[in-house]
Amino acid sequence: MILAGGDSGGDILVCHQGISFWGGVDPDTSRIIDAHHPDHGA
C-alpha cells in the first residue's frame, strides 16, 4: 500500500453491504451502479 500526503474533503458513504469495484461502481462518477445493491445510485 502506498500512502501519499495531501488534503481532501467530501461526504462519507457507509455501506452495510459489501460492494464490488469490478462493475459495481461507476469509475467516472463514483456512484454505485449495481442495481441489486441497497445503496444503488449513492
Taking only the tens of pLDDT, the chain with its 42 residues reads 787 888 888 888 888 998 887 889 998 998 999 999 999 988
Closest CA to 40 of 22, 11, 10, 17: 17
* Spans of all domains in the chain: 8-42
Q: According to the model, what pLDDT value does residue 31 have?
A: 92
Counted residue by residue, the chain has a size of 42
pTM of the model: 0.64
Q: According to the model, what pLDDT value does residue 32 have?
A: 93
C-alpha cell at 4: 501519499
